[in-house]
Amino acid sequence: MRTQTSPRQPVVGSFSRMRALLGRLGNPEEGFPSIHVTGSHGKGSVVSFLEAAFAASGYRVGVLSPSSAPQEMVRLSAEPVPQTALEPYLSRVDKRCEVQARPVEKLAAAAFLFFAEEEVEIAVVGAEVGGRNDLANCLPHRLLTLVTCVEEDRVDLFGRGWTRASWEEAHTASPGVPLLTVERKVEALAAFAEATKRAGGALVILDPDEVQGREFSWDRVSWGLREDPLGLGEFSTPPLGLYQQANLALALGALCELVGGWELGRDAIKRGWTNVKLPGRFEVISRRPYVVLDAARNPAAAASVVKTLEAMPDPGGRRTLLFAIHRGQPVRSTAEVLFPAFDEVILCSGADEELLPAQALLPQARRLGVRCRLEPDPLAAVVNALEAASPEDLIVVVAPKKILAEVRRGLGRPA
């Protein structure tokens, strides 16, 4: 049986390979309209918010979310598609594949075949890493392109800073397709404006402060809207990070663009968001002691985790961080934001060769003067921390989503 592989290999040429592969499969991507979600972080959350709204409104919605954990990458109407159900489609892809396609490209092609044959009414597709070569750019019937934000992230691909990343994201613009963003940086918006004008599209700049967090608890978060164009009123979600404010605003903006041609009732949207599942995004899997899983991998995401903890009721106990990160991420700046917010930092790595070894993280912790120790196995580290914790203690696991999924399963918690 194949394993759904997390997309960490070089992406140069992904767009052209995908077009060639889909052509050999009869272009299944022609069979459904789609929404393309890209940006430095928040892609998976926006995908999930849109998925929840469409599914609650009764639509058959397909999701391809390469930024999610492997078993959650392909979904149908808000439920993961089992690997066994994808096997026939992956086999068809293998038989027709005459190019050196990567596992994630084969998975995307199989997902598009599956969506076409399942007659989905709309597909919401998250970018792999974004930019002009992203595999989602091959979708011909895009209704919208959504850009969450542009931050320093994949320094192995885009270099330090966010200038190259903003240029890449700008070139996801397509003729006649509105590009919506909650990005605020003037230089990034200038790149978006130039690219959409050249492509014959339209740039829609949304206010991330349209959505306001009203009350944060360890069980629910209440949100309100400043303008409330859909008349939703106040609504609640499971515990979410403060960074979801902008992601909710982007999803809301997308629904406003579509509401004239799609039956998206306000009660259905609120119901969908009340029950939305966001594994690995300020995911509270235990209370007393409190355990939070988050896939923050850059300084902006790390800052949001810290701000969310400040907004939550303080459990009153000791704060412990378990930290692991992939090579190629901005380790130094992420550590500077995250490590000082905790009483102790446990540095982890695991068996994944793409993770930075725990030993290599040690200089960052020492430089910042935080108490730290090494415990390479993330699951063992969480189990040991739980055994030593009091009911008022807080344990936050910040790591790639694959590691978070292993921790969740190891603790017997459902996604």
The pLDDT tens digits of the residues spanning 323-376 come to: 999 988 889 999 999 999 999 999 998 788 889 999 999 999 999 999 999 998
Shared domain for 262 and 305, answered yes or no, is no
pLDDT for 13 equals: 54
In a domain, 232, yes or no: yes
Name, in order, each residue with C-beta under 8 angstroms of 200's C-beta and a sequence gap of 6 or more. 175, 176
How far apart CA 116 and CA 31 sit, in angstroms, is 5
Cα separation, 185 vs 194, whole angstroms: 14
If you ran DSSP here, which 8-state letter would residue 153 be given?
-
Query: Do 256 and 328 fall into the same domain?
Result: no
pLDDT for res 8: 37
Query: Which residue among 274, 297, 316 closes a domain?
Result: 274
In this structure, the answer to whether residues 59 and 146 fall within a common structural domain is yes
240 and 302 housed in the same domain: no
Q: How many CB atoms lie within 10 A of CB 289?
A: 19
* CA angle (147, 126, 108) in 5-degree steps: 145
217 and 133 in a single domain? The answer is yes
Which residue is it, tokens 């959350």? 45
What per-residue confidence (pLDDT) applies to 5? 37
Q: Is residue 403 part of a domain?
A: yes
pLDDT of residue 131: 67
Q: What is the pLDDT of residues 210-256, one digit of tens each?
A: 999 999 999 999 999 999 999 999 999 998 888 899 999 999 999 99
Residue 265 has pLDDT above 70, yes or no: yes
Position 101 scores a pLDDT of: 83
- What domain range includes position 54? 14-274
The pLDDT > 70 percentage for the chain reads 91
pTM of the complete model = 0.86
First to last CA, the chain: 22
Q: Are 167 and 306 in a shared domain?
A: no
DSSP string, 203-241: EEE--GGGEEEEEE-SS-EEEEESS-TT---SEEESS--
Is 268 part of any domain?
Answer: yes
Counting residues of the chain whose pLDDT is more than 90, the rounded percentage is 67
222 and 317 in a common domain: no
Tell me the CATH number at 382. 3.90.190.20
Q: Identify whether 160 is part of a domain.
A: yes
pLDDT for 72 equals: 84
263 within a domain of the structure (yes/no): yes
Q: How far apart are CA 282 and CA 284, in angstroms?
A: 6
Contact 138, 22 (CB under 8 A): yes
In total, how many domains does the chain have? 2
Among 249, 274, 299, residue at a domain's last position: 274
Q: What is the mean pLDDT of residues 140-147?
A: 95
Structural domain ending residue among the three candidates 256, 274, 292: 274
For residue 46, is it within any domain?
yes
Question: Quick check: is 6 in a domain?
Answer: no
Question: Any idea what DSSP says for residue 368?
Answer: H
Residues 59 and 174 in one domain: yes
In this structure, are residues 325 and 331 in contact, taking their beta carbons and an 8 Å threshold?
Answer: yes
Whether residue 128 is found in the same domain as residue 189:
yes
> Helix H segments across 150-298?
155-158, 163-170, 186-199, 244-258, 266-274
Q: Cα–chain-centroid distance for residue 270?
A: 21
297 shares a domain with 232: no
Strands 221-225 and 211-216: antiparallel
d(CA 252, CA 226): 12
Average pLDDT, the chain: 89
8 assigned to some structural domain: no
**Are 237 and 258 within one domain?**
yes
**Alpha-carbon distance 41 to 286, whole Å?**
25
Whether residue 293 sits in one domain with residue 190: no
Residue 136 belongs to a domain with what CATH number?
Answer: 3.40.1190.10
